[in-house]
Chains A and B, each alone.
Chain A
C-alpha cells in the first residue's frame, strides 16, 4: 500500500544554519502523527516545505504517487494538502463564511455557487460554528477563530491536513473541544500531521510520534515509547532530567 506522505532526505539551509538535515519519515493513510521537538528544532520548517511555503534545498516530498517537492503553495493545496498556521490567520475583510468559501472555490476540489454555500454551512457546523457564516471575523473569540481556520482547511477536502500548533493557546475546556474535533477527523479517516507542544493532546491523538532536535529526527515510533526515551527527554528538558 502506498504511503499518504513520504518524505525522504529533506534538507534546508538558512545561510550558514542548517535548519533541517536529512529528515525522512512517512505517514500511512488515515494516520495521525505528531511532529515534536523543542523550539527551533525545524518542525515548522518541515511543515512549510511540505506545504510549499519554503523551497527545499534537497530531498523529496511525495503525496501519494505525486512528487510535490518543487510545487508552489497553491499547487500543493490543489493536490490535496491543507494547513493551519501557528498564529491564526483569519482574513479580516471576508466574513466567516467567505473565509471558508475560499478553500472551497480554489482548493483540492473546486466548488462555487449554491453547492459551495451549502458546503460552507456544513463545514462550519462540523467545527461548531453553525449559522455564523455571515459574521465578521473580528467578532470571533480566539477558539472560534481557530475553529474557522480548521473549517477553512477542511473545506478544500484535503487528503493531508497539517496542523501547526493548532491547539496552542487554548484553555483546558477549549483544549478538550479541540482534541475532540481532531479525533472526529481521525474517525473519518483523515491523515494528519500535527506539530504540537501539548503532551496531553499528543498522547490523546497520535498513535505515532516523530521527534526532531536541531534539525534532525532523533526518535520515531509509538507515542508512549518515544516520549519515554532518554534522548527525547534530554532534548526537551536538558541533561539533568535524562
Chain B
C-alpha cells in the first residue's frame, strides 16, 4: 500500500478503465454482482472516512443510505435525474449536520447505540409519514437505467470516495482525525477544533453514503422502508471495513470485495442461516484481526507481533 503516487495513479486509472469496460463483455448477472460489490466498496470506504480514524463506530449507515433511496423514489418523476441526486445529497448532508451536532459529544458505546437508534427512528418516521400523510406504502422508481448504467455511476462515486480518502489521509485534516481517535483532550490542546473536525468528516461520510443509496434506488424498482432501511446494510458495511482495516486507504475496499462475494453466495445457498453465519463471522473478525487484514499481513511480514 506504499506505492509511489507516480505509479499508483496510472495503475488505479487502468484498473478503473478495465472495471468500467467490464459490463460490455460480461453477462448481466455478473454486472449485477459488480454493481453490488462497488456499492459496498463505496459504503465501507465512506464509512471508514469518519469511523476509521476517530473510532466512533457508526451504525447509522442505513439511515443515510435509505434516505438517499427514498429521496429518489419520491422525486424521480418530479425532477430531472441530476437534480434528484443533488437533492438526495443535500438532504443527506442536512440530516448528517443535525445528527452530528446533537450526537458527536457522545462517546464510545453511547454513540454506537444512538446511531443504531437513529436508523430505526428514520425508518419508523418515513413509514409513519407514508401511511398517515401521503397514504402510500411503497413507491415505484421509474428511471430508464439498466444495471450497467447504475454500475457506472457507482464506480464513479467509488473513485471519488477513494480520492477523497486519499487526499484527507495526507492532509492536516487526516493528522487531526488520527489524533482525535487517540486522545481528544490532547488533540484539543494541540489546537484542533475537535467538534468541527468530527462534524465535517461525519457530514462528508454521510453524504457519500446517501448518494450510494440514491444511485442504487432504480435497481429495486419498488421501494418501501423495510427494504431500504434494512439494518443488515449497516452491519455489513461495518464488518467489511473492519475486515480490511478501517485506518487504511484500501482497507475497507479490500474487506468489502471478498465479504460481498461470500454474502452473495451464502444468501443464495443458505438463505435461512444467513444471519447466523453473518453474526459468527462478525465475532471471528473482531477477535482474530481487530486491526484488519492488512495490519495482520504487516504483522506476519514483520515476523509476528513482538
Contact = CB atoms under 8 A, between A and B. Distances in A.
Given A94-B178, A105-B172, A89 B190 contact: no
B186 A91 contact: yes
Contacts of A12: none
A15 B192 CA distance: 30
B236 to A, nearest CB: 26
A107 B190 contact: yes
Given A105-B172, A112-B172, A53 B178 contact: no
A156 to B, nearest CB: 6
Interface string A46-86: 00000111000000000000000000111001100011010
A77 to B, nearest CB: 4
A156 B192 CA distance: 12
Nearest to A105: B172
A98 B175 contact: yes
B21 interface: no
Interface residues of A, number: 27
A55 to B, nearest CB: 14
Contacts of A72: 188, 193
B189 A53 contact: yes
B220 to A, nearest CB: 40
Give the bracket for the number of chain B residues in contact with chain A. Answer: 10 to 19
B2 to A, nearest CB: 13
A73 B189 contact: yes
B188 A102 contact: no
A219 to B, nearest CB: 29
A101 interface: yes
Given A102-B190, A105-B172, A156-B190, 13 more contacts: A53-B189, A72-B188, A72-B193, A74-B191, A77-B190, A77-B191, A82-B189, A94-B182, A98-B175, A98-B178, A102-B176, A103-B191, A105-B176
Interface of A: 51-53, 72-74, 77-78, 82-83, 85, 89, 91-94, 98, 101-103, 105-108, 112, 152, 156
